[in-house]
Amino acid sequence: MNKYTITLAKTCLGCKKPSCQKGCPVGTPIAEMIRLFLSGEIKTAGKMLFENNPLSIICSLVCPHEKHCEGHCVLNKNKTAVSVGSIENYISDFYMNDIKFEKPQPNGHKIAIIGSGPAGIALAFILASKGYEITMYDGHDKIGGVLRYGIPEFRLNKSTLDLVVQKLKQLGVKIRPNIMIGKNITIDDLFRDEFKAVFLSTGVWSPKKLGIKGESLGHVHFAIDYLKNPSVYDLGKKVVVLGAGNVAIDVARTAIRNGAKEVVVMYRRGAENIPAEKHEVECAKIDGVKFDFYKEPIEFNDQGIIYKTTDGSDEQGLIEADSIFVSISQNPNDLIVQNNKGIAVDDKGLLYTDDDGMTSRKGVFGAGDAVTGARTVVEAVAFSKRVAVSIEEYIASL
């Protein structure tokens, strides 16, 4: 057993009413997890974590812990919060590598999951373990969605995702990669083929553009596209990232690791307004990423970015750059909505659902970023847990 993890666990006060659990979107029983761990019952702790959150092994790595569990720890008042993420990851990693899931007896109900990001994987685990026959469809060659193609390797080792895929297959989940449901195969086709419910978790993969002159030039790229396969880009020495959300920070840190000598995050507001998690910003600074505030791009040219200041001086200038990344959020892909009738979306193109995840089309459910916009992995899991209940109730009513 890891001595360092034990030391971290012993800092927990074992609160009777743990505020850390209240701060977690899926209500992870952290105090009980640590109690079991220190009592030598690591497998029991791992089982409890998995049943509460099928993506515990991933959330423990990529969650904004300072915002959720660790941010609510009572030790924040005088000391350092319990390192919940590190402890949870040790336990979950042990459990997932140790357990071999048995495929349950099929209950005769087929469910299609379109999109294999956090929401889709969570739902697949929950319902496959109850005997539902799950088929997952994804446009990429491997499943994982944003976990595989939107989070850098240094934050989430892809071998962890491969382990998750292995466990899904043990439960009998069928995976159909390299297919975009919407045009050639439609939702009507899925219902024709006796799927009882369809779950949409296609994420937000369409990058928003700035709409300024020069955005089609060869050295201007979209951040979310870069993260899918950074090694194919020739960035040059100086890189400027426009925007300061979590994706922008991931791009900046990835560019540093892929040979860029200078990486600058340019943001139209001040440091206190950065939307990215504070911990990620601190890590970026340690990596050598620089920040340039109160500048807004108005045009791209072969030399770099023409900008205007936003601090009231309204000056203009040029920041030279070999490569530029636009990172100002993403929109959902509208392929499914365009080619399938009866699925309503809001003015941002996000799926409209009720509180239980049912879309405007009977039997079609949605969750994750395609419904809420870009959120955290753990929030997607929490939503999928609610929708899983709704899907079961719907199928039982047929």
Q: Is the pLDDT of residue 18 over 80?
A: yes
Lowest mean per-residue pLDDT among 42-46, 324-328, 371-375: 371-375
Of the pLDDT bands very low, low, confident and very high (cuts 50, 70, 90), residue 312 is: confident
Q: Is the pLDDT of residue 250 over 90?
A: yes
What percent of the chain has pLDDT above 90? 83
Q: What pLDDT does residue 205 have?
A: 79
pLDDT tens per residue across span 60-88: 999 999 899 999 999 988 778 999 999 99
Query: What average pLDDT does the structure give for the chain?
Result: 93
Q: Do domains 110-205+332-397 and 207-329 have the same CATH topology?
A: yes
Mean pLDDT is highest, among 3-17, 155-169, 321-335, 338-352, for 155-169
Determine the topology of domain 207-329 in CATH. Answer: FAD/NAD(P)-binding domain (3.50.50)
Q: What pLDDT does residue 339 have?
A: 59
Region 361-381 average pLDDT: 91
Asked if the 110-205+332-397 domain carries CATH number 3.50.50.60, the reply is yes
Region 90-98 average pLDDT: 97
HEC states along the chain? CCHHHHHHHCCCCCCCCCHHHHCCCCCCCHHHHHHHHHCCCHHHHHHHHHHHCCCHHHHHHHCCCCCCCHHHCHHHHCCCCCCHHHHHHHHHHHHHHHCCCCCCCCCCCEEEEECCCHHHHHHHHHHHCCCCEEEEECCCCCCCCHHHHCCCCCCCCHHHHHHHHHHHHHCCCEEECCCCCCCCCCHHHHHHCCEEEEEECCCCCEECCCCCCCCCCCCEEEHHHHHHCHHHCCCCCEEEEECCCHHHHHHHHHHHHCCCCEEEEEECCCHHHCCCCHHHHHHHHHHCCEEEECEEEEEECCCEEEEEECCCCCCEEEEECCEEEECCCEECCCHHHHHCCCCCECCCCCECECCCCEECCCCEEECCHHHHCCCCHHHHHHHHHHHHHHHHHHHHHC
Closest CA to 281 of 238, 250, 321: 250
Q: What pLDDT does residue 320 have?
A: 98
Task: Give residue limits of the domains in the chain.
Answer: 3-98, 110-205+332-397, 207-329
What percent of the chain has pLDDT above 70? 97
Region 164-186 average pLDDT: 93
Of the pLDDT bands very low, low, confident and very high (cuts 50, 70, 90), residue 1 is: low
Q: Is the pLDDT of residue 256 over 90?
A: yes
Q: Is the pLDDT of residue 8 over 80?
A: yes
Of the pLDDT bands very low, low, confident and very high (cuts 50, 70, 90), residue 337 is: low
Region 253-271 average pLDDT: 97
Superfamily of domain 3-98: Alpha-helical ferredoxin (1.10.1060.10)
Q: Is the pLDDT of residue 309 over 60?
A: yes
Q: Is the pLDDT of residue 219 over 90?
A: yes
Q: What pLDDT does residue 113 have?
A: 97
Distance CA 45, CA 40 (A): 9
Q: Is the pLDDT of residue 333 over 90?
A: no
Closest CA to 119 of 370, 338, 389: 370
Q: What pLDDT does residue 340 have?
A: 62
Q: What pLDDT does residue 28 have?
A: 96
pLDDT tens per residue across span 24-39: 999 999 999 999 999 9
